[in-house]
Chain A
Amino acid sequence: MLLGVDLQLLSQYVIAGLMIGVLYALMALGVTFIYSVMKMINWSMGQFYMLGSFIQYLLVVRWLGPDLWFVALPITAACVFVIGAILQLVLIRPMFTGGVERRDEYATVITIALLLLLQSLATVLNGPDEHTPGSHLPNLTVGTLPVSGATLAASLGGIAALILFAVLLRRTWVGLALRAAAQSRIAVQTAGVDLMRLDMIAFGIGVALAAIAGALLAPVYLVYPTNGAVTTTKGFEIIIIGGLGSIPGALVGGLLLGLVEALGSVFIAPAYQNAYGFVLLIALLLIRPTGLFGERLRAA
């Protein structure tokens, strides 16, 4: 017993919190990655999360069955990558080529319009119905602790996606170019890299990360047109906690947020689980306004 709380209950919450934290990190990573390369925030991340969960749901229910969820996952990611790349080509590329005066303003308004477009299209086509792809994964017992099979699978899938992302960034030519673009867009262009194509790839990868989070969490939470809202909010909170443009910040921030939610649920009340992230954000702003990692200069 610790402060009148059952230790087993506590560890159960903490493990679940850390597992979900991996998926929050995935979401934050998508936002941070797009920002690093293109210097813009994609406000419609939650709608790509929603797209991912819907595509996963359709694949699993129509063709593959719940046992082959891991086959559906890369297909979902690829689909959303292509959708994201096309949307980037049509809507966001003109920011750099179309003589836009204020890029920040343009990017914000366009991605918020995209948010509205995707969300209302999903509502029109799907209605307010909620679905679940289902899961046949058995619940496990680690020691004496019960662990939900679907959550564990989501967490492992998230870790696999993170590793794949790291390999792509560290070991491939495209990854090298992307990292270079994050350091200096002008230098990359000077070196003869097609920056516009690179932006398209970066945007596609960023939204695919959100889609993977959506697809993995589809059996845990439900699939409906506004299901991305809560997870996206957490992704954005992690950005402020960890620092914009920082990959370690996104990972540490994600796990920290999962942990804080677990502790808050045990020691305060589980009903407000989704509000603890903001409390953490405010606390961090008071203690360390520059975030854990990320750019040193956050003032204007």
Chain B
Amino acid sequence: MSRGLTRRGCGLRPLLISGLLIGVAALVPLRVNDYLLQVLTISFYYVVLAVSWNLLAGYTGQFSLAQQAFATIGAYTTGMLGHYYHVPIAVGIVAAGLVSGLVGAILGVMVLRLRAIYLAIATWAFAETLRITLTAAYEFTRGDLGLSVPTLLGNLDPLPYYYIFLAMAAASTLIVYLVVRSPIGFFLRAIKDDELRAASMGINTTFWKVFAFALTSVLSGLAGAFYAHYVAVISPQIADFTEMAKIIVMVIVGGIGTFAGPLAGAPVVQVVSSFLHQYGQWSNVIFAVLVIVLMRTYRDGGIALLLHAFRLLWARVADGRGQA
């Protein structure tokens, strides 16, 4: 039915693959050092954003460019509440989800009447304005100096954070999976395929579009709040557009046609770029080129390309055996 981003159906297979990836991730701490553990912890934050964005852009056809902005709203909500009102961390995180969802719903109502291309522009303008305003309002937000936020557990032992963030990523993935599997998922894909037709079949298109927008805003806002309580210092930098570009890179590298793509893409991109970090910004140059090459040649994504290569190789090996 749907082509492009949603070529793959959403049977049980994506759930199995996702479960496998999460299972592997749960065992990773046995083998790696603390540094890599921290890199992977951050990558789970990106998994939430990438999975959310995939629901919006992939399944609903809303090419939003403000996923990082909602994470920023979440991070600053809990950060400011804690800083000025000494609100407990748990309350701050819940408030972060609510505020992001509310802002998402309001923005959604305003821009979702517009055609896709205007939606992308309006969300871009929203994200940039948020970053600029947070920087300009330094009396409240401390701007580029950064707002210090208490850590979630009061210590910096990486292992508990790893599992908390892994659970967060798994929960978000499950929520998005359930939405995609439910009738709502069919509504959303119907809207993407042909909105007029969907509306004529009795689907309240505006409502479901706003629903998807608000839901992904809540998920991103919660992820942003957890992120703030992990890195302990937040700055408007997390609302920078390069963050959004990074999310897109992760989805493309993981495979834009797949449900599990973002899950695999985010950790891979994050780990590779942390290793390339010693060479400065070269990692972004390399990823930009990689995305361009993938878009030009193999749109199913790097992970699928590796699988494909493996299958070809395996076929050759099996062939050789057959001849011998």
Contact = CB atoms under 8 A, between A and B. Distances in A.
A109 B249 CA distance: 9
B111 interface: yes
A285 interface: yes
Contact of A237 (B115, B125, B289, B299): B125
A43 B244 CA distance: 12
A300 B196 CA distance: 8
B249 A113 contact: yes
Interface in B109-133: 110-111, 113-118, 120-122, 124-126, 128-129, 132-133
Contacts of A278: 125-126, 129
A65 to B, nearest CB: 31
A299 B205 CA distance: 12
A300 B126 contact: no
Interface in A65-102: 91, 94, 98, 101-102
A275 B281 contact: no
A41 B120 CA distance: 10
B208 interface: no
A281 interface: yes
Contacts of B120: 41, 108
A163 to B, nearest CB: 27
B115 A113 contact: no
A230 B132 contact: yes
Given A113-B295, A300-B115, A121 B285 contact: yes
Contact of B292 (A101, A104, A117): A117
B5 A105 contact: yes
B195 A300 contact: yes
Interface in A105-129: 105-106, 108-110, 112-117, 119-121, 123-124
A116 B287 contact: yes
B121 A299 contact: no
B248 interface: yes
Given A102-B4, A298-B114, A123 B288 contact: no
Contact of B284 (A120, A230, A298): A120
A182 interface: no
A148 interface: no
A286 interface: yes
B277 interface: no
Contacts of A244: 117-118, 121
Contacts of B296: 91, 94, 98
A116 B128 contact: no
- The contact size tier of chain B is 35 or more
Contacts of B248: 109, 112-113
A120 B136 contact: no
Residue from A239, A281, A300 whose CB has the most chain B CB atoms within 10 Å = A300
B298 interface: no
A233 B129 contact: yes
- By secondary structure, the A interface counts as helix
A95 B111 CA distance: 27
A236 B121 contact: yes
Interface in A226-281: 229-230, 233, 236-237, 239-240, 244, 271-272, 274-275, 277-278, 281
A289 interface: yes
Given A116-B249, A275-B129, A275-B132, A108 B114 contact: no
Residue from A106, A110, A120, A229 whose CB has the most chain B CB atoms within 10 Å = A120
Interface in B82-136: 110-111, 113-118, 120-122, 124-126, 128-129, 132-133, 136
B285 A117 contact: yes
Contacts of B292: 91, 110, 113-114, 117
Given A124-B281, A230-B132, A236-B121, A110 B245 contact: no
Nearest to B245: A116
B136 A275 contact: yes
Nearest to A105: B4
Contact of A116 (B125, B126, B242, B256): B242
A32 B90 CA distance: 46
Given A41-B121, A91-B292, A113-B248, 7 more contacts: A41-B120, A112-B248, A113-B288, A114-B292, A233-B124, A240-B121, A275-B136
23 contacts: A41-B117, A43-B124, A91-B296, A98-B296, A105-B63, A105-B256, A116-B245, A116-B249, A119-B242, A120-B284, A229-B128, A229-B241, A233-B128, A236-B124, A272-B133, A275-B133, A277-B129, A282-B110, A298-B115, A298-B118, A299-B115, A300-B115, A300-B195
Interface of A: 35, 41, 43, 91, 94, 98, 101-102, 104-106, 108-110, 112-117, 119-121, 123-124, 229-230, 233, 236-237, 239-240, 244, 271-272, 274-275, 277-278, 281-282, 285-286, 289, 297-300
